[in-house]
Structure 1
Amino acid sequence: MLEEVERWLSTRSWSVTDRPLHQLTAAKRTTGSTVSVVLPALNEEETVGAIVAAVRHDLMLRVPLVDEIVVVDSGSSDRTSEVAAAAGARVVHRDDILPRLPPVPGKGEVLWRSLLVTSGDIVCFVDADLREFSSDFVTGIVGPLLTDPGVALVKAMYDRPLTVSDGSASGRTAAGQGGRVTELMARPLLNMHWPQLAGFVQPLGGEYAARRSLLERLPFPVGYGVELGMLVDALHLVGLDALAQVDVGVRRHRHQDGQALGRMSAAIYRTAQLRLARGHLVRPALTQFERGEDGFVPRTHSVDTQERPPMVELAEYRSRRVA
């Protein structure tokens, strides 16, 4: 298995510099492919505007690489929608997509619904909380899909520094320590159960692109398990050589606290468990503790267990494709 991973790393791992922008625009013209960029967003008014503006300026106005930027707002209480629209995105509210089906909270839910309001042959997902964003994130992961017909899904890989509080205004940066759930939960699961995927540097990263023809055939876990679930399901559906990764540099974003990471880990474990056995958890919940005035207080959270079916199974989606 190690030999297979090493072969994959040598043939399906690239740098953003391997495909210059002029090569991508030429490939786009030749193939006639269209590209949608989707930002799932919840209370990201501080960062979403700069991301949208960079993609629009660099990849729509300066060169015609991206055809649409769609921000799917999943119920923000701040000015996320207004900021995104002012920067040039088309903003769609999660609850307005497929209204016959009540939405449930979760990132995967938003990504799944985005397929109904985008039209690109290639769909590129970008998290809305990135700081110091570069449009290389988009060109890097879209590039192999435009230039290699054998590639179906591309993940971004990057350094992910962790900002640690040290009493100063900005804090101290710990290089390579940002992917805590990846290192403590996702990477061990993948290495033990799906060792073919051991070569992915950032298996849980929110920046990836895929062909619509693949995405519409995948089930979507509604919560934080969506990235792991998508990677495992894509492996079984199209094979390892249809998956790839591209180095885009450094990813900076806000970091979750330890309890939020615990809930994310539980959702990811549940997603893996479903794919291993399709069994039932005895107790699909996670209890964590916070110190109160009289000692530790338990807080119990439900674990994301729901999944949405492949989009191609929905009548609304099939009728939209025909239209």
Structure 2
Amino acid sequence: MAKDTHVLERPPEGASPDWTIPQDWNHYTAEEHATWDTLSARQMKLLPGRASNAYLKGLEALRLSESGIPNFEELSERLMKLTGWQVVAVPGLVPDEVFFDHMANRRFVAGNFIRRPDQLDYLQEPDVFHDVFGHVPMLADPVFADYLVAYGKGGQRAMELGALKNLGRLYWYTVEFGLIAEPEGLRIYGSGIVSSFAESKFALDDPSPNRIGFDLKRVMRTEYRIDDFQQNYFVIPSFDELLRVTVETDFAPLYKEIVGQPDIPIAEILPEDVVITRGTQDYANAKA
């Protein structure tokens, strides 16, 4: 797979040592703003009744349904008042140590480029729509905002312990592709789902994937794929519980325990799993 031009090995010219760059909001074209509006409009129609209450409240509080690509300075001002977070622009995917340092200090890194109009439904890497529309509303929720701070600090420790693969699975199955059980039913909150028109429907409605009760060790042992709809979704009971488990767990002995165990294949169901939905794994029909 060819390396994308937005995936960099060192800060480009003009970037700060922490990889941040100016968003340069005034240089977005009318077409780029229109692409944001197209993506936003169809998600805004789809997400009520599907997205978590926290996500929908964040959208409203941060005014992310307004027309055009958000200005990070204005967005950060609103976000800072709610949870102390800010959004900073970066040129692409940044090194792990940079990513975790920003997160541990309540700075969310976001790409400042947007996909082309012919890429509305699939992009190999995160753009400003995924990063801002997908992630940032959840940062307006104080509990989830604290969870990401804890994750950032945990990432710094995981680097020292050689456990990034396992911790990365926690991010994948919560921050990117997490489901939550709310009184009204299952809801989506992961950014990879809420920013995707197709997966916003698939994650809740399709019979193909497994939907399994969240268990920290189970999640960190489970493989995932990046080139298709998810075959597993893990369901948390609440954001409070997700934060509690993350903060109260000593990850060092957990990593040692996991190292001695095999990875769990993507679609496998374990006897001890709390199975909410056992999937058919019938992806051919799902895509038809």
TM-score (ref. length: structure 2): 0.36
Higher Cα radius of gyration: 1
Q: Which has the higher contact order (CA 8 A, sep 6+)?
A: 1
Structure with the higher fraction of residues in helix conformation:
2
Structure with the higher fraction of residues in strand conformation:
1
TM-score (ref. length: structure 1): 0.33
